[in-house]
Amino acid sequence: MKANKLYICSLAIILFWSTITCHETLAQKNRNKKIIDKELALEDEETWSETPICKLTIVDSIVVNKNSITENIPMPEHLGKIFIDQETGNYTYENEFSDMRYITAKDTSGHHNIYRQILLANKWGKPELVKINGDTYDYINPYIMPDGQTLYFAARSTDDNEGRTYSLYTTTYDSETNTYLEPQRLPYPFYSDENDILYIEDDLNSIAWLVTTRRQEEGNACIYTISVKQPWEFYDNETIDPQKLKSLALIERISDTWTSEEQRGEVLNKIAQFKNSKKETEIAAKNINFVINNNTTYHSFSDFKKNESKNLYIELLDKESKHVAYTNQLKVYRKNYHNSSDENRQRLADVIIETENNMKKNLESIYLLKKEIRSIEQ
């Protein structure tokens, strides 16, 4: 009897220690797996050779306050217009005929959705839900291409356990089901780990605008002006160094995307025409303060006698806006420089020097433009 009790007790002890050993082994395996997964994740982040990266020419960039984003996108009339909804803070798209809108509003569950409104008898109708197939997301900031079929928007997961930053997506209307197909997230460099909030494309002029908060201080956003053609082209990753690919994907320097000064110049000329058309309308309704000489100061855009002066004044306003943008950019870059590792400091130092040089050239242009305007008007 005692022998049986001793046997049972010994067996229980063996089972107990076996169970503990087993749990420790599994726990250790799990810990090792997490470490391995983390190392693989870090390796994946540093390996860009297999990452699809869209080939773009980013001709210009400007940092603005989020409240002035739409003022700094010179959309041609045929694209319609985008403006901020003062109640929600999100963007509303209105077509060129001003008879259809795409808005953002919350549904009964508290998630944002995209709705369509039609103007009937000079009154906006009841918002109709734009049905998008696929998983449930927070959808904001819609933009419809002139074809009336292609929809771009920003979205983020409604799962609190996932990342809550906005990414850009596109989808196409399916007339048979009266719904939009499952959206596809835009590739790098349209994608980042911060908020990418708006994408507008003008396929007629092969120009687009990307609005993102990447590397910006709270309350600011960067607007990238892009030369882009459909269908999108992608880099041949096998012929480019992975670090170069990473730089292109993250838009570390827009000058790295320039392949032809002629092409960039053509796009900038188009943008200037859009801006002139838009700003001439806006400026005509505002008071200005431009000193011609000791005896004359212009207070209205109509005071300019020559059309050449008017065009130069619009260009001057653009240069002055750029000066503010460069100032904001340098503030961010210098802050990042002091908080960065030694490895990143050299890269940031190059970016700071490049921005300072651009700022200096811009200030020289401002001085010469003012001088030329005064000379023409006198």
User: Within a domain: residue 216?
Assistant: yes
Domain assignment of residue 229, given as a range: 57-256
210 and 116 in a common domain: yes
326 and 233 in a common domain: no
pLDDT for 27 equals 35
Alpha helix segments (H runs only) across 68-117: none
pLDDT for 13 equals 41
207 and 63 in a common domain: yes
User: Within a domain: residue 64?
Assistant: yes
The percent of residues in the chain predicted with pLDDT above 70, rounded, is 84
How many distinct structural domains can be found in the chain? 2
131 and 71 in a common domain: yes
Of 206, 236, 256, at which residue does a domain stop?
256
223 and 149 in a common domain: yes
User: What are 28-77's pLDDT values in tens digits?
Assistant: 333 333 323 323 333 454 467 788 888 888 988 888 888 888 888 888 88
330 and 244 in a common domain: no
pLDDT for 277 equals 66
User: What are 186-231's pLDDT values in tens digits?
Assistant: 999 999 888 999 999 988 888 899 999 998 888 899 999 998 888 8
Among 30-39, 77-86, 87-96, 267-276, which is the least confidently predicted range?
Answer: 30-39
Q: How many CA atoms lie within 13 A of 181 on its CB side?
A: 11
User: Within a domain: residue 211?
Assistant: yes
- Over the range 298-326, which residues count as b (16 or more CB within 10 Å of their CB) and which as e? beebeebeeeebbebbbbbebbebbeebb
- Secondary structure of 112-155 in the HEC alphabet? EEEEEEEEECCEECCCEECCECCCCEEEEEEEECCCCCEEEEEE
178 and 238 in a common domain: yes
Among 69-83, 239-253, 334-348, which is the least confidently predicted range?
Answer: 334-348
User: What are 350-360's pLDDT values in tens digits?
Assistant: 888 888 998 99
The mean pLDDT of the chain is: 80
Query: Which pair of structure tokens corresponds to residue 223?
Result: 């607007």
Of 211, 238, 256, at which residue does a domain stop?
256
User: Within a domain: residue 23?
Assistant: no
pLDDT for 322 equals 84
330 and 211 in a common domain: no
335 and 252 in a common domain: no
103: enclosing H helix or E strand: strand 100-106
User: What are 271-319's pLDDT values in tens digits?
Assistant: 777 776 666 666 766 778 889 998 899 988 888 888 888 888 888 888 8
Alpha helix segments (H runs only) across the chain: 2-46, 242-249, 261-284, 307-339, 342-377
Task: Give me the helix-helix angle, 261-284 and 307-339, nearest 10°.
Answer: 110
User: Within a domain: residue 220?
Assistant: yes
User: Within a domain: residue 9?
Assistant: no
Q: Which residue has the higher pLDDT, 79 or 34?
A: 79
* DSSP 8-state assignment for residue 294: S
Of 256, 273, 304, at which residue does a domain stop?
256
C-alpha–C-alpha distance, residues 171 and 139, integer Å? 12
Torsion of CA 55, 59, 62, 68, to 10 degrees: -90
Q: Which residue has the higher pLDDT, 180 or 165?
A: 180
Tokens 């319609």, residue? Answer: 80
Among 47-61, 106-120, 153-167, 234-248, which is the least confidently predicted range?
Answer: 153-167
User: Within a domain: residue 43?
Assistant: no
pLDDT for 282 equals 65
Residue 180, pLDDT > 70, answer yes
205 and 165 in a common domain: yes
pLDDT for 239 equals 85
How far, in Å, are 8, 107, 139, 205, 282 from residue 111 at the CA level? Answer: 61, 6, 8, 35, 36
C-alpha–C-alpha distance, residues 183 and 168, integer Å? 10
User: Within a domain: residue 294?
Assistant: yes
What's the N-to-C CA distance of the chain in angstroms?
122
335 and 210 in a common domain: no
Question: Predicted confidence band at 163 (pLDDT cuts at 50, 70, 90)?
Answer: low
pLDDT for 43 equals 42
Threshold 0.85, pTM exceeds? no
80 and 195 in a common domain: yes
pLDDT for 319 equals 86
